[in-house]
Amino acid sequence: EYGIEKPRGYNVSFHYNPHVEYHHFGSSHPMKPWRLTLTKQLVIAYGLEYAMDLYEPRPASKDELAIFHDREYLSFLEAITPQNMKHHDEGMKAYGFGGESNDCPVFEGLWNYVSLYSGASMHAAQNLLNNQSDIAINWSGGLHHAKKKEASGFCYINDIVLAIQHLLTQHQRVLYIDIDVHHGDGVEQAFESSDRVFTLSYHKHGFDRHYGYQFFPGTGDIHEMGPTDPTNPGKGHALNIPIDDGIDDDQYKWLFKTITDAVVEKYRPTAIVLQSGADSLGGDRLGRFNLNIKAHGFCVETVKNYGRPMLLIGGGGYTPRNVARTWCHETAVCVGASLHNDLPTHIPYIQAFQGEENGGGILYPELHNRSRHDNLNTAKALQTLVQRAMENLRYLEG
């Protein structure tokens, strides 16, 4: 009223339905929804809830999920239970459930789980469209491998595709960035024929010494840039950055900033979706990289500084205490707060953060010290990678 401007800051919203926490993939399964409980407890213990608008979104409806997914697939997903699955062998196979690897198990409350994380991503996108938030966060989402009618790699419904489709109702160009250690294949595939979505994924790619086969999902080579048909508008609108084991903080930060800056400058997105999978951290149970929490958070900070409406979502992350630390730190980055390294002592699940050989009781332990991965990325290889990425971007100039 008096011409005094609000201090330069961002409106941040946090979209989270606590019912997601109570779902279990099975005791040996690496995906642990209770990492979201830890995350929320840290966010609250640091008082970050007072710096954001909090929402408890309702589950997405079947009609909403059908905007991307196949209706028969959705009916199957809705109906399947651990009790009746033995009578649905063909459906199970056709839709990517169970199987030998059991990456996508059928568990109690599966439909509820997928509707909750998807509802949160769609609500977050809606908040950006309404201009109610500059940054909208959903740590329960980011399930980038799910296909139109297939579950894959712990992902059943692709909440990212649904959120981007919603953003496209008002945005001409949406940039999708994916720092999960796995290739964001489901999102890339969903928009492969569109020039209104550019997908950029950083990931481990190639033969995996630990598994003895290609690192999941096996796609995402530097030469994969969307359709090759020159009449397809999606041509050149995907960029993949394949990385080898053990990449360190400085290398990743340089790679991320150099390439992402160039993409933003050339593509000029009007909204950005960042999948911030925490399995790219050092010491992750499935990952192969050596990143520390602040280097991972540097990516969030970099994207925030582009100043476009931003949807920030979770994804992988298989060492729950470090997932919680990272997403709490990144929530703080969004609201512009810096956090004490000593964890607040009144956290309900404090025992999860104590008794580690290093890192007990602190927010920013040195994760690379604990890592088993040698750095196989030479300076020369990374320079070549950046050079190839820049060549790939020339397609954007038409």
- Which position among 182, 205, 237, 329 is part of the footprint of Zn ion (CB under 5 A)? 182
Residue among 184 and 186 whose Cβ is closer to Ca ion:
184
Residue 68 makes contact with ligand ZLS by CB under 6 A: no
Q: How many C-beta atoms lie closer than 10 Å to residue 76's C-beta?
A: 18
Near Zn ion in 114-143, by CB under 5 A: none
> Which H or E run contains 112?
helix 110-129
Q: Which whole-number Å values give the CA distances from 316 to 181, 286, 389, in the listed order?
A: 8, 9, 25
- Which position among 154, 156, 198, 298 is part of the footprint of ligand ZLS (CB under 6 A)? 154
Shortest-Cβ-distance residue relative to Zn ion: 316
Cis omega (within 30 of 0) for bond into 7? no
Smallest gap from residue 182 Cβ to Zn ion (A): 4
Near ligand ZLS in 316-355, by CB under 6 A: 316
Residue 102 makes contact with ligand ZLS by CB under 6 A: yes
Under 8 Å CB-to-CB from 138, ≥6 apart: which residues?
15, 16, 117, 120, 121, 123, 124, 159, 311, 312, 313, 314
Amino acid at 316: G
- Which position among 27, 101, 231, 305 is part of the footprint of ligand ZLS (CB under 6 A)? 101
Q: Which of 123, 183, 203, 368 is catalytic?
A: 183
Smallest gap from residue 315 Cβ to Zn ion (A): 6
Tokens read off for 294 = 């602040």
Residue 216 touches which member of ligand ZLS, Ca ion, Zn ion, none, C-beta under 5-8 Å by kind: ligand ZLS
> Which H or E run contains 375?
none
Smallest gap from residue 316 Cβ to Zn ion (A): 3
Q: How many C-beta atoms lie closer than 10 Å to residue 386's C-beta?
A: 15
Residue 33 makes contact with ligand ZLS by CB under 6 A: no
Residue 316 makes contact with Zn ion by CB under 5 A: yes
**C-alpha R_g of the chain:** 20
Residue 246 touches which member of ligand ZLS, Zn ion, Ca ion, none, C-beta under 5-8 Å by kind: none
Please provide the distance, in angstroms rounded to a whole number, between the alpha carbons at the two ends of the chain.
47
Q: Which of 166, 153, 61 is nearest to 114 (CA)?
A: 61
Smallest gap from residue 183 Cβ to Zn ion (A): 9
Active site residue 183: yes
Under 8 Å CB-to-CB from 219, ≥6 apart: which residues?
183, 185, 240
Residue 279 makes contact with Zn ion by CB under 5 A: yes
Residue 284 touches which member of Ca ion, Zn ion, ligand ZLS, none, C-beta under 5-8 Å by kind: none
239 and 176 in contact (C-beta within 8 Å)? no
Residue among 69 and 308 whose Cβ is closer to ligand ZLS:
69
Near Ca ion in 157-186, by CB under 5 A: 178, 180, 184
Residue 147 makes contact with ligand ZLS by CB under 6 A: no
Smallest gap from residue 266 Cβ to ligand ZLS (A): 27
Residue among 226 and 316 whose Cβ is closer to ligand ZLS:
316
With 0-12 CB in 10 A as exposed, 13-18 as middle and 19+ as buried, what is 270? middle
Residue 230's Cβ-side half-sphere holds a number of Cα atoms within 13 Å equal to 1
Q: Specify the pairing of strand 12-15 against strand 53-55.
A: parallel
Residue among 269 and 277 whose Cβ is closer to ligand ZLS:
277
Under 8 Å CB-to-CB from 339, ≥6 apart: which residues?
46, 328, 329, 332, 363
Q: Which of 228, 240, 204 is nearest to 377 (CA)?
A: 204
Residue 30 touches which member of ligand ZLS, Ca ion, Zn ion, none, C-beta under 5-8 Å by kind: ligand ZLS
Q: How many chain residues are in contact with Zn ion, going by CB under 5 A?
A: 5
- Which position among 40, 182, 237, 304 is part of the footprint of ligand ZLS (CB under 6 A)? 182
Judged by the rule CB under 5 A, the positions of this chain that interact with Ca ion are: 178, 180, 184, 201, 203
Judged by the rule CB under 6 A, the positions of this chain that interact with ligand ZLS are: 28-30, 101-103, 143-145, 153-155, 180, 182, 216, 277, 279, 286, 315-316
Active site residues: 183
